[in-house]
Amino acid sequence: MTREEFSEMRRQIAKTQKQTAQLLGISLKAVQSFEQGWRNIPVHIERQLLFLVALRKARTQGKHPSCWDIRHCSQETRAKCPSWELQTEQFCWLINGTICHGEVQKNWQKKMVKCRKCEVFQTLFAGP
């Protein structure tokens, strides 16, 4: 996650830097450092901020299609996928170990490269 993406997501959840720090359980100085590019944004902070944005959008825009419906996953693939098992629908990007394009996604950074290109993720995070 870039500093620009972090700042934009903070704006999307309509929170000040201080409020964002409280939501993420970090210091105000950390939020400022992320937005200035002085510190890298840890994976757990990226994941939590994406989740907050997704929850806000889901609440305001309604339900989005599920991952397995958009991707047209077979019953065999669905049965092996944690997203299907947990019924996370459009939150598949949040769950490690999901099956996308026929392979298990084990690493958050590599998974997110694919997720950011995926129509499920893009549908949820597109627009204001």
Over range 69-89, report the average pLDDT: 81
Beta bridge partners of 99: 104
Is residue 18 pLDDT above 80, yes or no? yes
Considering the chain, what is the average pLDDT of its residues? Answer: 84
Of residues 95 and 14, more confidence is placed in 14
pLDDT of residue 128: 54
All CATH 1.10.260.40 domain ranges in the chain, comma separated: 3-61
How many CB atoms lie under 10 A from the CB of residue 100?
20
Query: Would you say residue 24 has pLDDT above 90?
Result: yes
Q: CA–CA separation, 65 vs 5, rounded Å?
A: 24
Per CATH, the number for 3-61 is: 1.10.260.40
